[in-house]
Each structure stands twice: as C-alpha cells, then as structure tokens.
Amino acid sequence: MLERINCPVCHSYVPTESVDLATGMTRCPNCQSLLRLQVREERETPEEAAPKQEIYAIPKGIEMLRLPSELSLDMQWRHSVSFSKPQMFVAISYFSILVTFLYIALTTRSFHVIGIIGLFAVIGAALLMWLLASLFNTTYITVDSEFVCIEHRPFKLLYREYKIPIKDIEQLYVKEYVTGRVNSEVYTAHAIMMKVKGQNRDVRLLRGINKPLQAQFIEQEIERFAEIEDKPVKGEFRA
C-alpha cells in the first residue's frame, strides 16, 4: 500500500496512481526525476490491520453530551472545516469586484453585460456564503437508539442532511482526500464515510474536516454509542 508521496529531489507531490506497483518505479511530474519507491503489500485480512488508537480527550471545536438515551455531538466549522485565509481573501475580493461592476453596469445602463456579470455575481455570492458558513455554521449530530441524524445551521444549503436508521449502518470510517495543490504544497481534508446496507456507494456524512483527530473522534463516538463494531476498511485513514 502506498502512502502520500513527495519527490525527494524537488519535494513536489507525486500521484500514487503513477507508480508501477510491480517495480515501484515512477517519475516526478515536476522535475522528471526517476524514483524507486518501496511498496508495502496490502493487508490481506482485517485481523492483520493495526488497531486504532482510542481518543480520550474531546478535540477542540467539538462539544459532546452523552446521555443513556442519546448522544449529541456539535462540530463548530470555524475550528473544523477547511477554508484557508487565501480562500477567504479570494472569496471576498471576487464578490466585491463583481458587485462593483454590476453597479457600474446598472448606473450606465449597459444592460447587455448585466446578464453575464450577474451570473458571475451568483458564483461570488456562493463563495461568500461558504465563507460565512465556515465562520458561523455548526453541524449537529444526534444519535439515539434508532437513528443517526446530521443537521447544519444556520446555513443548510451547503451540505446534505441525513437521518439514517442504525440498523442499516454497517461501518463508519474516515477518508483523506486532496482538496488542492499550490506549487509543491498538497492540501488535504478528511471525510466521515458510512457503509449502508443495500447501497453500492458509501454515504459521505461530513467532509472538509481539517484535522483527522476530529473526524476520528466523531466516528469513534457514533460507533461506540450505536454499538457498531469497528472494522478496517480499505482506503481508510488510520494515522
């Protein structure tokens, strides 16, 4: 199994899918250096997978209330969801410039460009909403004897909300994914995934979580309260 790879020469990200698994050879897409990598074999059985480390302290940005009949987990986006300062600057600048041009077009009666500017202003408004949500939103997770419920407030349009019967849940796990690249820097986030009976694709309960500890803690507490046995899943983030 391959971990995330960075070129030892230029330190750029090297996609794992470019590696020849038979020889361990690949080429850096940035500096074209030929690399030989050590490929670890996949574990063949779940019993061979290293056990997860239990998380005892509640991570920053998460509030938990555990009662005999209900578990409540509140995740504050400003401490949890990936939205960097450069992204904030771009969102505010993009929206501000477009609103300015839209105002100029209206005052000069340049109606032929208003439609085009308006379309881009809608995109800017969506970016601004995402910025506000990253600052003020909270995700509310409620688990009782029958359901796992996911709600987002005050902005509800950005993420799906769920109410899933516990009896249909086979497994929860955390998955890491790449959100973007700037030069040689690779930015990643984490999603809480759920395997549900009768569905071919796994359900993505939450995404964009900055710190894996936060995602793993939420997974751990839901599984513990709902009495779901934790089992290794291929592609799961377990660091």
- Same-domain pairing of 197 and 149: yes
Give the pLDDT confidence of 76-118 residue by residue, as tens digits. 888 877 655 556 666 667 777 777 777 777 788 776 666 667 6
Rg for the chain (alpha carbons), in Å? 22
Nearest to 214 by CA among 51, 52, 60: 60
Give the pLDDT confidence of 191-222 residue by residue, as tens digits. 999 999 988 899 998 888 888 899 999 999 99
- Same-domain pairing of 217 and 181: yes
Question: Domain range for residue 32?
Answer: 5-36
- Same-domain pairing of 98 and 198: no
The answer to whether position 29 is within a domain reads yes
- Same-domain pairing of 70 and 129: no
- Same-domain pairing of 158 and 99: no
**Cβ neighbours of 234 (radius 10 Å):** 10
The answer to whether position 119 is within a domain reads yes
The answer to whether position 10 is within a domain reads yes
The string over 119-137, giving b where at least 16 C-beta atoms fall within 10 Å of a residue's C-beta and e elsewhere, is eebeebeebbebbebbeeb
Query: Beta strand pairing status for 185-196 and 169-182?
Result: antiparallel
Which CATH number fits the domain that encloses residue 191?
A: 2.30.29
- Same-domain pairing of 73 and 168: yes
- Same-domain pairing of 68 and 185: yes
